[in-house]
């Protein structure tokens, strides 16, 4: 019993809500007698309860008027009513006075019960799907489930609570029912306090139906757990089935065909050796016709002491004016924590840049960039070097991202020119840890406003000069390699693809061939957007400068992607999962007590 109460205490500590909790109580009810608990809800409240008895009892939740009628022997109606020996349930209450009633209609009943009141601030969560809605009588709400289900088989977990009985249903794009619940106020499957639905690869909708004569307030959330991420959703979903262009080069998505893996690291490096390059696209006014870019991108996860997590997307970029043999050092940082997450000039700072809005596909996003000072110089071919991004935790301040370029060759003469051209501080005084990550097990949060999140990938790719431009290369020949720092050296990722998925800029005529040393050869030709396969672990042969790190690593073994302090509280978005956990604890307590008593 002690372990159960420890578990419940941990759950309560992790929550910011204030609960009213009863201890496990017992009562003896003769036939036709009842016990009641008065519930005074001053705001939206989740009432979760469990009852166990040696004889069938009726458990009801009544409002004040119907409790008066019930206690006076008049006709009454229930918000929730169940008959049985063991019951676990919950209901969402508006502000008001209610009664949890346990009635023994058939005989002498030895009853054990437990209940919990959880105040809820209803809010739509923009990180994961957590939403409230009002359903009119006999109406159905149909919600498109995130399109990651098109990429692989998935497990769908549904948690919901309502003030009237509703029905949950999952249907495919043909309208065929994959899952259907009965009329419930709390999602329960036996003693499992949620619905777990296995989904084959495909497109699905979550339908919630109100079968009652009253309006129903429903607070629900769902989470998807794909078997693996599918990089080809870049084309089928994000590009509407267009396979004619992509950011092209070398990328790791954390998946070897259909086998996912996860790697956390503090530094990522992209090697380049360009023998010839000339881009031309005059059919746009986004950038200069001969601009092109080589971009090193990765996903940065920042974990806070209060269990909140932010997700950022930094990129280290070479912008080429290919007709002038000029290259600019450029960088960006975007907040990927959720589709509405943003940055400001107080949340991220550098001496070399600032935050400004950028419109991509009609959506305004706020990027940090080194717009004040972007180093530039003339390059000669062959041109080779390294793009490097490092992260480190500055305790009490935030996370420092350093952007580096190391030039190894500029023309026929080898050189060694290293430049840290930007130091960017993400302000986050409560930061606990941070790391770059490649993760083939999940997508970044899409929330209720998006259909698909981004990928936890790392990319070194060629594309247009900026602003989402899709360029064409008249000449291109070179070598690319993508590596992560494992604590002692830079090594290859376990597997690679020929295209990136998080980058807007792209090209339509670059061909990729995998070399034996784990690098790729790029040239003009027919694009082949494909999985290159697994790569034997190989170290980067050149020796880039690695900044000194503190003895306390910034990489954390934890990787629980939750929410952003920029947009919404992680506690707020996970309230239904707290309810789920409490239901589970309640079930354990009552079953444990029942096994002891009877």
Task: Give the C-alpha separation, 442 to 455, whole Å.
Answer: 8
Task: Give the C-alpha separation, 595 to 589, whole Å.
Answer: 10
What pLDDT is recorded for position 284?
86
Percent of residues, the chain, with pLDDT higher than 90: 71
- For 366-418, the pLDDT digits (tens) are 999 999 999 999 999 999 999 999 999 999 999 999 999 999 999 987 777 88
Which SS3 state, helix, strand or coil, does residue 247 take? coil
> Per-residue DSSP letters for 467-535?
TT-EE-EEEEEEEEEEEEE-SSSEEE-SEEEEE-SS-S-EESSEEEEE-TTS-EEEEES-----EEEE-
> Per-residue DSSP letters for 365-408?
EEEEE--S---EEE--SSEEEEEEEEEEEETTTEEEEEEEEEEE
* pLDDT confidence bin for 586, thresholds 50/70/90: low
What pLDDT is recorded for position 24?
77
Chain Cα centroid distance, residue 583: 25
- pLDDT(189) > 90: no
Task: Give the C-alpha separation, 274 to 249, whole Å.
Answer: 13
Does the domain spanning 128-226 belong to CATH 2.60.120.380? yes
Instruction: Supply 357's token pair.
Output: 């809005």
- For 75-94, the pLDDT digits (tens) are 999 999 999 998 889 999 99
Residue 533 has φ and ψ, to the nearest 5°, of 105, 180
**In the block, which residue shows the tokens 């693809």?**
497
Three-state SS across 317-346? EEEEECCCCEEEEEEEEEECCCCCCCCCCC
Reported pTM: 0.86
Enclosing H/E stretch for 585: helix 575-597
- pLDDT(285) > 90: no
Domains 1-119 and 128-226 share a fold: yes
Q: Which bin fits 77, alpha (ψ -120 to 50), beta or left (φ > 0)?
A: beta
Instruction: Supply 122's token pair.
Output: 């209803």
Rounded mean pLDDT of 461-487?
96
Closest residue by Cα to residue 261 from 389, 437, 434: 437
- For 2-57, the pLDDT digits (tens) are 333 333 433 333 333 455 566 678 999 999 999 999 999 998 888 989 899 999 99
Q: Measured at the alpha carbon of residue 334, what is the angle toward residues 333 and 340, in degrees to the nearest 5?
A: 160
Instruction: Supply 272's token pair.
Output: 């380049």
Domain regions of the chain by residue span: 1-119, 128-226, 232-520
Q: Are 173 and 219 in contact (CB under 8 A)?
A: no
Buried b (16+ CB within 10 A) or exposed e, 361-373: eeeebbbbbbeee
Residue 545 has φ and ψ, to the nearest 5°, of -70, 130
Whole-number Cα distances in Å, 193 to 39, 89, 434, 534: 22, 9, 33, 40
Task: Give the C-alpha separation, 169 to 189, whole Å.
Answer: 14
- For 550-578, the pLDDT digits (tens) are 434 455 433 333 323 333 333 344 455 55
- Across the strands, what pairs with 301? 311, 435
What pLDDT is recorded for position 14?
31
- For 433-452, the pLDDT digits (tens) are 999 999 999 999 988 878 89
- For 339-376, the pLDDT digits (tens) are 888 999 999 999 999 999 987 666 788 999 999 999 99
**What fold, for 1-119?**
Jelly Rolls (2.60.120)
Task: Give the C-alpha separation, 150 to 233, whole Å.
Answer: 8
Neighbour-count burial of 205, counting CB atoms closer than 10 A to its CB (0-12 exposed, 13-18 middle, 19+ buried): middle
What pLDDT is recorded for position 7?
33
Closest residue by Cα to residue 14 from 357, 252, 266, 308: 308
Which SS3 state, helix, strand or coil, does residue 356 take? strand
- pLDDT(598) > 90: no
Rounded mean pLDDT of 61-71?
96
Task: Give the C-alpha separation, 170 to 192, whole Å.
Answer: 18
Q: Are 90 and 584 in contact (CB under 8 A)?
A: no
Return all residues near 93 (Cβ < 8 A) that are at least 6 apart.
Answer: 39, 41, 44, 45, 46, 47, 61, 163
Rounded mean pLDDT of 102-121?
90
Task: Give the C-alpha separation, 548 to 267, whole Å.
Answer: 12
What pLDDT is recorded for position 77?
92
Q: What rounded mean pLDDT belongs to the chain?
A: 87
Percent of residues, the chain, with pLDDT higher than 70: 85
**In the block, which residue shows the tokens 């590009």?**
239
Q: At what angle do helices 2-13 and 575-597 cross, to 10 degrees?
A: 170
Chain Cα centroid distance, residue 143: 18
């Amino acid at each position: 019993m002690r372990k159960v109460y420890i578990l419940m205490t941990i759950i309560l500590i992790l929550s910011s809500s204030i609960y009213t909790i009863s201890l496990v109580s017992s009562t003896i009810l003769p036939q036709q007698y009842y016990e009641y608990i008065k519930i005074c809800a001053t705001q939206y409240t989740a009432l979760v309860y469990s009852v166990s008895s040696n004889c069938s009892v009726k458990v009801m939740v009544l409002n004040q008027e119907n409790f008066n009628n019930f206690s006076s022997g008049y006709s009454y109606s229930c918000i929730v009513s169940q008959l049985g020996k063991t019951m676990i349930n919950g209901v969402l209450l508006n502000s008001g006075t209610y009664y949890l009633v346990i009635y023994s209609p058939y005989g002498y009943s030895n009853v054990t019960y437990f209940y919990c009141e959880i105040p809820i601030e209803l809010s739509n969560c923009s990180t994961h799907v957590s939403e409230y809605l009002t359903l009119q009588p006999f109406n159905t709400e149909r919600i498109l489930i995130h399109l990651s289900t098109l990429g692989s088989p998935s497990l769908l977990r549904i948690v919901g609570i309502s003030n009237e009985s509703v029905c949950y249903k999952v249907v495919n794009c043909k309208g065929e029912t994959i899952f259907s619940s009965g009329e419930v106020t709390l999602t329960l499957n036996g003693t499992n306090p949620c619905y777990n639905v296995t989904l084959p690869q495909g497109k699905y909708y979550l339908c919630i139906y109100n079968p009652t004569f009253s309006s129903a307030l429903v607070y629900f959330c769902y989470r998807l757990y794909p078997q693996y991420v599918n990089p080809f959703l870049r084309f089928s979903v994000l590009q509407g089935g267009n396979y004619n262009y992509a950011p092209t080069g070398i990328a790791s998505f954390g998946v070897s065909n259909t086998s996912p893996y996860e790697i956390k690291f503090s530094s990522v490096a992209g090697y380049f050796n360009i023998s010839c390059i000339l881009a031309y696209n005059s059919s746009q006014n986004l950038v200069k016709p001969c601009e092109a870019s080589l971009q090193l991108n990765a996903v940065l996860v920042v974990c806070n002491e209060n269990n909140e997590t932010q997700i950022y997307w930094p990129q280290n970029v070479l912008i080429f004016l290919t007709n002038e043999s000029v290259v600019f050092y450029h960088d960006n940082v975007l907040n990927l924590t959720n589709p509405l997450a943003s940055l400001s000039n107080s949340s991220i700072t550098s001496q070399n840049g600032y935050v400004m809005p950028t419109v991509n596909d009609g959506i305004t996003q706020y990027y940090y960039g080194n717009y004040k000072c972007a180093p530039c110089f003339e390059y000669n071919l062959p041109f080779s070097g390294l793009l490097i991004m490092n992260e480190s935790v500055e305790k009490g301040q935030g996370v420092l991202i350093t952007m580096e370029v190391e030039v190894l060759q500029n023309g026929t003469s080898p050189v060694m020119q290293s430049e840290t051209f930007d130091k960017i501080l993400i302000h986050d005084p409560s930061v606990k840890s941070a790391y770059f990550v490649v993760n083939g097990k999940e997508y970044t949060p899409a929330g209720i406003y998006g259909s698909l999140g981004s990928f936890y990938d790392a990319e070194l790719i060629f594309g247009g000069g900026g602003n989402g431009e899709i360029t064409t290369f008249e000449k291109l020949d070179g070598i690319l390699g993508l590596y992560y720092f494992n604590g002692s050296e830079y090594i290859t990722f376990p597997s690679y693809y020929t295209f990136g998925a998080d980058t807007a800029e792209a090209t339509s005529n670059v061909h990729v061939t995998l070399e034996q040393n784990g690098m790729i050869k790029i040239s003009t030709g027919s694009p082949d957007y494909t999985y290159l396969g697994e790569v034997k672990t190989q170290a980067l042969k050149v020796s880039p400068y690695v900044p000194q790190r503190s003895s306390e690593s910034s990489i954390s073994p934890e990787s629980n992607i939750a929410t952003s302090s920029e947009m919404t509280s992680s506690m707020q978005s996970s309230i239904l999962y707290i309810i789920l956990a409490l239901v589970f604890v309640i079930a354990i307590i009552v079953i444990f007590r029942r096994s002891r008593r009877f």
